[in-house]
Every structure is written in structure tokens, then in C-alpha cells.
Structure 1
Amino acid sequence: MADVRAVTTRGWVLFAVMAVLWGIPYLFIKEAVDSISPAAIVAGRTLLGALLLLPIAIHRRALRPALALWPWVLAFGAIEMAGPFLLLGHAEQTLPSGLTGLLVATVPLFAALIAVTRGDRSVLKPARAIGLVVGFTGVAIIVGGPGLTSGGPGALVAIGEVLLVAVCYAIAPFIVATKLKDVPSLGTITLSLAAVGLFYLPIGILTQHEVPTVRSAVSLVGLGVLCTAVAFMAFFALIAEVGPVRAPLFTYVNPVVAIALGVVILGEHLSAGLLVGFPLVILGCWLAATGGRFRERPRVDQELPPVASG
């Protein structure tokens, strides 16, 4: 049965909150890497997020099911957090924050390609196939812009790192859907954050060679508290309010927030390639993910896998 419930005022508020909370990580990362090493950023944000979510996970008894499947929880944490968070920090030492946020938004394109390799032929339907072509055309226009190509090999490597992040974010939900489908999302996320944080803590200490600035420290706290702990709790509330089909739709607004913050706060340049490629990427992602319409609603007992958090 299709999900035809009207979106309530609370639902719209949660949409707006999520669009901001997962649109601002790129600004915070850009500010944090100014004086904090990428590994230290990963350790700080994940440990902060884990500490805040742990009491809630314990209260809801969400940890025991996650611990029972700890190898897959660790695999999820490695692909959803450990690799992407480090790559984003390293890439934003070179790339503008707004561009990073937009490139991460290509997750639905890679998810569609992965679905094809898993035998999902629905991705080859005209609307979704057109979405793949349109989306990757937008990426090519952005990456081929003179402002980036003039940046030399370093810029191209950073772009590759962000696109690899998008691939990781596309793979991670398949792990949840196939191996962790009976584990509460809160337990998976909390345990993953704690494991990633503890893994990166010694690396972060060894790679941090200067005293962080106030702006970098505040940005790191914002990443851990707002963009990780609060964002995941708001996401769970959004799923409960509007259902698992509509909940991820805010991700199409995230790049707008990332680009706007980069231009307004950091003074980042809004290139012609970005202006042309941006709507193509968003349109392509939407078509590739949905075929231009809402899909049938999943069973009510299914939880939506976590989406890209940045």
C-alpha cells in the first residue's frame, strides 16, 4: 500500500532540521582541518557521538543485538564512518566545503549501480537509467570546470577521495539490509561510533602536532554533538513521523545547505561549472533513486538503513 499520509508540521520541522544537521558537516570539517588532523577529527566526533548516544542505546536495550553481530557492525562502521570520515577530512584540506557536500550527494547514483550488480534490473528502467546519465554528466561538468582542473593533481585526488566516500555510503546500507536487518539502528550506530573512535584515538593523538584553534575546536564539537548524536536521533524521529520512504528525501536539500554555507561563511567561489552541474546531479540522483516517483512503502517492521551523514 502506498504511503499517502500527510506530512505534519512536526514532520516538516524535522525535515528542515535534518537538512541543516547533515548539510553543515562540510563547513565544520573545513574549519576543523585548519588546525586538527583528519584522524583526530574522526576520533573526536565519533567518541563524542558515542558518549551521547550510549545512555539512550542502553535504555532502549539496543546494544545487545548489535554486540551479537559485532563483526558485521564493525564492517558497517568501517565503511560508513572510519573510511569516509577520514577521507572527507583529508579532501577538505584541498576542496571547498560546498563542492564536497555536493559530490557526497552522488550516493544514490552509486547505490543504483551497486543494485544492478546485485541483480536489481529495475534500475535499468528508462527514468532511473536517465537519472544515472544525467547525474554523472553533472559530476563531469563540475569536475571538469576550470576552477578545479587548475588545482592540479591534488584537487583531482581530493575529488576521487570524496567520490570514494560516496561509494562507501552507497555500500553501507546493503550491509544493514542484509546482515543487520534485525538489529536496532541505534545499537548499530552507537557501537560503530565507539569502535571507530577508539581505533582512531591513538592515531589522532600521534598525528596532532599543534594546539587547535578555538574555531576548529568548536567545529569538532559541532560535528560530534550536532551532526552525529543529535542528527541520528532526529533522523529516527523523522522516520517515525513520516515513514521510511519519505524520511531520506531531505538529503536532496543537504547540498544546497552545504554550498550556501560555503559561499556565505567561508567566501567560497560559486563557479559556472558548479551552477550548471549542481541541478543535474540532484535531478539525476532523484531519478536514479526513485524513478521520478515514490516507491511502494516498505513493511512497517523494516527500519531504513542510515543514510550519508557527512
Structure 2
Amino acid sequence: MSIIPGSRHGAVIAAGVTVLFWASAFVSIRSAGSAYSPGALALGRLATAAVLLGVFALIRRVGWPARAAWPGILISGLLWFGGYMVFLNWGERLVDAGTAALIVNVGPILIALLSAALLHEAVPPALRLGIAVSFAGTVIVGLSMSGGGKSSLLGVVLCLLAAITYAIGVVAQKPALRHGSALQITFWSALVAAVALLPFAGVLAREAADAPLSATLNMIYLGVGPTAIAFTTWAYALARTTAGKLGATTYVVPALVVLMSWLFLSEVPGWFTLAGGVLCLAGVAVSRRSAKVKA
């Protein structure tokens, strides 16, 4: 659940773990979403994460967060942990994976803008260039993966709302991490979101009774890997670098989604898709150049 304190490359390793799990989430959401509705899937995922993180919090004797941490916990918990997951689950039912990845990856741009305006973080030229290059790669991946350009307007709006809530949640979480550990902030944020989604408990129970085992296992996996582990490693990295620089690393996600589809779903990507993935990786490498000194 944590990276070894004092490791010079700890933030980079933590960010890598996060994007790997978050990329796999797109595949699992597709599978679990066939049996679980958006709200029920989000509740099941967050309840799983909250229980797992709660056990670790008890073992590590993580107490009640400081008062100064609560605004960030509440905002990130309600908007990012809760709202983002519902919007993304719903959006992925209405648009193809390429379109969803393209729209959600507006998030890092919003993070850079919001962190500059609200957290007074610098946006160095290398970060701006890296964001531009990676976003171009994301557009290429999104266009190459889109199914003939047929997208639901509601699905596009939902994915855009997911990107907005994701960006606001990241920027809100950054100040909270000054007053608590990554595990503490992540656990309480997940718990806040799970409590907020309790109105879906009845739906979750009914759907779980009829869902195939594979869908339920995917929901549990979403709670363990992409949420409990990945959100904790993200918080660890966020506490050690700027929100804008860390947000840019998530541009690796589309490239990883392409690779995972290739390996696990036998979906061989075309050259157009591969070129976009390479651009995503190149942009992240450029954006991290200035981060090596300060991260």
C-alpha cells in the first residue's frame, strides 16, 4: 500500500503503478458494466476499496484526519471517487472506448490549468509541450479506436463530466495531503464516496444476485487494484510533485489500454493507433523532464 519512504524515485514508481491499474480499469468497467448499472458498479467498487483500505488503516493505526484535510477529502471523495466513477461507468455504456479515453484525457489539461490558478503551481514550458504532444497522441488513439464515429451525445457529456470531476478532485486532494498520509486521505475519501452512493445499495444487491461471476470479480478487482492500490499510490506521488506534472503522466493510459487490448483481447492495433500511443508516451517523457529535479 505504500512506497518505501526516502526512495528518490518513489513518486515515479507510484505514478507508474497508478496508470497501469487505471488503464486496466477501462477493460474491467466494460466487463462488469454488462451486469451492473453505473451507480451500483461504483458503489461495489468503492465499498470494496473502503473495506480493504480500512483494514490497512487499522493495521497502520491511521486515525481521524486533521480538520484542515477535510475540505479536500470531501471534495475529492464526492466528486472524484464518487462522481467520476458514476459518470465514467455510465458514459462507457454509450460511447466506444476510444471516444471515452479521448474525452477523459482532457482531465490532465484541466488539472494543469486549475492547479496553476488555485494552487499557484508553475506550468513550465516542458510541461506545456508534453501536454500538447500527449494530447495529440490521445486524439489519434481515440480516433483510431472509435467505432465509425458513432457516439451518443449524452455519452460524450458524461465522459466530459468525468474529466471535470477528476480534475477538480485531484486539485482539491493536493492541499489535503499536507495534513495526512496517502493511505489516510485515500481511505477517508473512498469512505465518503461509498456513503454518498449508499442509495444504490438496493440496486447493487439485486444486480449482484443475477450477475455472472466474471462481472462480480471484475467489480471486486476495480475496488482492489484501480481504486484501493492505485488511488493510494497516486496520493503518494501527488504529495511529492505538482498536480500538473502528475496529471500529465496519465496520458500513458491510452497507450497502455491499446497494449492490454492487444495482449488480453487479441485486438491487434493498427499503425495509426500505435503512432498515437508512441506520441502519448513521448509527451509524458517530455513533461517529466522538468519534474526530475523537483519531484
TM-score (norm 2): 0.75
Select 1:169's aligned residue among 163, 166, 170: 166
Q: Partner of 2:91 in structure 1?
A: 91
SS in 1 for 2:64: helix
Is the 2:31–2:215 Cα contact (8 Å) retained in structure 1? Answer: yes
Instruction: Compute the RMSD of aligned alpha carbons.
Output: 3.9
Q: Which amino acid aligns with 1:28?
A: S
Q: Which amino acid aligns with 2:174?
A: A
Q: Deviation digits for residues 105-147 of structure 1, max 9, x if unmatched?
A: 5543222222343485842x54333334334444444555694
Is the 1:74–1:195 Cα contact (8 Å) retained in structure 2? Answer: yes
Q: Partner of 1:53 in structure 2?
A: 53
Q: Partner of 1:130 in structure 2?
A: 129
TM-score (norm 1): 0.72
Alpha-carbon deviation of 1:65? Answer: 1.8
Is the 1:22–1:254 Cα contact (8 Å) retained in structure 2? Answer: yes
Q: Does 1:225 align with 2:224?
A: yes
Describe the shift of the 1:194–1:108 C-alpha distance in structure 2 as closer, same or farther (beyond 3 A): same
Separation of aligned partners in 1, 2:72 and 2:133: 34
Q: Partner of 1:203 in structure 2?
A: 200
Q: Partner of 1:37 in structure 2?
A: 37
Describe the shift of the 1:286–1:105 C-alpha distance in structure 2 as closer, same or farther (beyond 3 A): farther
Describe the shift of the 1:20–1:136 C-alpha distance in structure 2 as closer, same or farther (beyond 3 A): closer
Q: Which amino acid aligns with 1:130?
A: L
Q: Percent identity?
A: 24
1:104-115 counterparts in 2 under 5 A?
Answer: 104-115=104-115
Gaps of 5+ in 1: 299-310
Alpha-carbon deviation of 1:201? Answer: 2.7
Q: Deviation digits for residues 53-73 of structure 1, max 9, x if unmatched?
A: 113223434331257754542
Separation of aligned partners in 1, 2:261 and 2:154: 21
Separation of aligned partners in 2, 1:25 and 1:175: 23
Q: Which amino acid aligns with 2:162?
A: V
Alpha-carbon deviation of 1:282? Answer: 4.1
Name the structure, 1 or 2, with higher relative contact order (CA <8 Å, separation 6+): 1
Is the 2:66–2:179 Cα contact (8 Å) retained in structure 1? Answer: no
Q: Which amino acid aligns with 1:127?
A: A
Question: For this pair of structures, how many residues does the alignment match?
Answer: 283
Alpha-carbon deviation of 1:268? Answer: 5.1
Q: Does 1:296 align with 2:270?
A: no
Separation of aligned partners in 1, 2:222 and 2:119: 37
Separation of aligned partners in 2, 1:116 and 1:16: 24
Alpha-carbon deviation of 1:30? Answer: 0.7
Q: Deviation digits for residues 248-280 of structure 1, max 9, x if unmatched?
A: 697454433322223443455746654444333
Separation of aligned partners in 2, 1:268 and 1:48: 30
Separation of aligned partners in 2, 1:29 and 1:39: 12
Q: Partner of 1:244 in structure 2?
A: 240
Separation of aligned partners in 2, 1:226 and 1:131: 27
Identify the range of structure 1 (52-61 vs 246-255) with the bigger mean alpha-carbon deviation. 246-255
Q: Which amino acid aligns with 1:79?
A: L
Gaps of 5+ in 2: 1-5
Q: Partner of 2:3 in structure 1?
A: none
